[in-house]
């Protein structure tokens, strides 16, 4: 692609100041260049992620959907018996909400439900409304926001005495730094009331080869998902990345039990980003770290929740792929 072709797609009307700031900060920092994974999900990235979820090598989403379809009715009966019907279901990083259907259907059996998906991607929220919009007894109120602000906005919909159920599915918790997970769950809990629930989906540690093919699939969908971040910079920030001069790379860090995704510069090059007024130098082989995807042990998940102040109610495990769904409650007690 020529520099002209790269900037020809650029549309100045699209500049998002937070994206501009994240790119400028991540590409000019000393040492390892990095971009936060939350910026993967523009319209193209969200569509590519949907394709990833049906790849034979990426069993995560299928495993979670299978677990939820088997357990949602029993889980909801247990919640209703203990605390009453959760008329408010909030989901963080909802994506298109496909796997959420099982939970909503089980909840809607007991009466009407207000479903509040929270996502920073308007594209993901649009398809969530399309996919789940026609469910019986379910009204959808999408919230385009970061997670913590989104929870506050969503909880403003609570009527007195209603328990809320917060969903954090798809192992998005794995995209946080390990040191931040317990404190993030603690920040969530402090926003909620005693008796509220959290359902957390987390991918489990599994053999290196299985993980590497899940994050470096043979037909290159994950590579396209990763490289789209550079294409997004071209489109939205007048970037001049030659996409073919970067390669997708997935590494497994055994010590940290995490997949690390990088974009490797194939040559020494300089890349101009017009909207930022920056020219970014790359040495041959240098990488931009774009995502960490942590994998957990079952007992580690309940421990992290407890460190965030939650009580573990129950866990369900899919042993075939290796995925766990954990139901926590914000038990009454000291805040």
Nearest Cα to Cα of residue 301 among 328, 279, 282:
328
**Number of Cβ atoms within 10 Å of the Cβ of 116:** 25
Q: How far is the CB of 93 from ligand AVI (least distance, A)?
A: 7
Nearest Cα to Cα of residue 47 among 232, 214, 211, 177:
232
Nearest Cα to Cα of residue 117 among 107, 103, 128:
128
257: contact with ligand AVI by CB under 6 A: no
Q: Which residues, numbered 174-213, are part of the site for ligand AVI (CB under 6 A)? A: 174-175
In angstroms, the Cα distances linking 206 to 149, 235, 300, 301, 323 are: 34, 37, 14, 15, 10
Q: How far is the CB of 225 from ligand AVI (least distance, A)?
A: 6
293: contact with ligand AVI by CB under 6 A: yes
Our CB check for ligand AVI shows the closer of 66 and 195 to be 66
Strands (E), 195-310: 197-203, 246-253, 258-265, 269-273, 278-282, 287-294
Q: How far is the CB of 274 from ligand AVI (least distance, A)?
A: 28
Query: Collapsing DSSP states into helix, strand and coil, what is residue 122?
Result: helix
CB 291 within 8 A of CB 175: yes
Our CB check for ligand AVI shows the closer of 170 and 322 to be 170
CB 225 within 8 A of CB 48: yes
* Options 215, 282, 289, 310; binder of ligand AVI; rule CB under 6 A: 215
| Candidates 13-21, 128-136, 170-178, 319-327; binding stretch for ligand AVI (CB under 6 A) | 170-178
Q: In degrees, to the nearest 5, what angle opens at C-alpha 170 toward C-alphas 310 and 328?
A: 15
Nearest residue to the partner ligand AVI, using Cβ = 293
Alpha-carbon gap, residue 203 to 294, rounded angstroms: 8
Nearest Cα to Cα of residue 325 among 86, 186, 165:
165
* Options 71, 94, 96, 222; binder of ligand AVI; rule CB under 6 A: 222
CB 289 within 8 A of CB 36: no
| Candidates 96-104, 105-113, 124-132, 166-174; binding stretch for ligand AVI (CB under 6 A) | 166-174
Q: How far is the CB of 171 from ligand AVI (least distance, A)?
A: 5
| Candidates 172-180, 187-195, 271-279, 302-310; binding stretch for ligand AVI (CB under 6 A) | 172-180
* Options 117, 170, 308, 309; binder of ligand AVI; rule CB under 6 A: 170
Is 299 exposed, middle or buried, given 0-12, 13-18 or 19+ CB atoms closer than 10 A? exposed
228: contact with ligand AVI by CB under 6 A: no
Q: How far is the CB of 222 from ligand AVI (least distance, A)?
A: 5
Q: How far is the CB of 56 from ligand AVI (least distance, A)?
A: 14
Q: How far is the CB of 200 from ligand AVI (least distance, A)?
A: 12
Q: How far is the CB of 208 from ligand AVI (least distance, A)?
A: 15
Chain residues in the site for ligand AVI (CB under 6 A): 52, 60, 170-172, 174-175, 215, 222, 291, 293
């Amino acid at each position: 692609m020529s520099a002209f072709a790269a900037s020809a797609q650029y549309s100045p009307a699209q500049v998002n100041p937070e994206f501009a700031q994240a790119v400028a900060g991540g590409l000019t920092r000393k040492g390892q260049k990095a971009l936060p994974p939350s910026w993967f999900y523009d319209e193209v990235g969200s569509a590519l992620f949907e394709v990833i979820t049906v790849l034979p090598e990426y069993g995560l989403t299928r495993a979670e959907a299978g677990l939820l379809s088997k357990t949602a009715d029993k889980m909801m009966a247990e919640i209703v018996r203990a605390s009453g019907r959760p008329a408010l279901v909030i989901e963080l990083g909802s994506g298109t909400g496909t796997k959420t259907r099982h939970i909503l259907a089980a909840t809607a059996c007991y009466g009407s439900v207000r479903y509040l998906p929270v996502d920073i991607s308007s594209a993901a929220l649009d398809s969530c409304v399309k996919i789940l919009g026609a469910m019986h007894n379910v009204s959808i109120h999408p919230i385009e926001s970061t997670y913590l602000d989104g929870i506050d906005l969503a909880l403003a919909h609570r009527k007195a005495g209603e328990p809320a159920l917060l969903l954090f599915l798809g192992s998005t918790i794995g995209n946080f730094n390990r040191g931040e997970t317990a404190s993030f769950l603690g920040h969530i809990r402090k926003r909620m009331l005693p008796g509220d629930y959290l359902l957390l989906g987390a991918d489990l540690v599994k053999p290196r080869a299985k993980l590497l093919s899940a994050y470096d699939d043979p037909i290159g969908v994950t590579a396209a998902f990763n490289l789209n971040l550079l294409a997004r910079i071209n489109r939205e920030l007048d970037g001049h990345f030659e996409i073919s001069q970067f390669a997708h790379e997935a590494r497994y860090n055994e010590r940290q039990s995490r997949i690390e995704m990088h974009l490797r510069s194939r040559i020494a090059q300089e890349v101009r980003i017009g909207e930022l007024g920056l020219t970014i130098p790359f040495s041959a082989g240098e990488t931009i770290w774009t995502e960490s995807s942590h994998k957990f042990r079952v007992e580690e998940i309940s421990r992290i929740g407890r460190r965030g102040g939650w009580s573990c109610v129950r866990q369900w495990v899919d042993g075939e792929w290796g995925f766990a769904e954990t139901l926590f409650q914000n038990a009454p007690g000291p805040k």
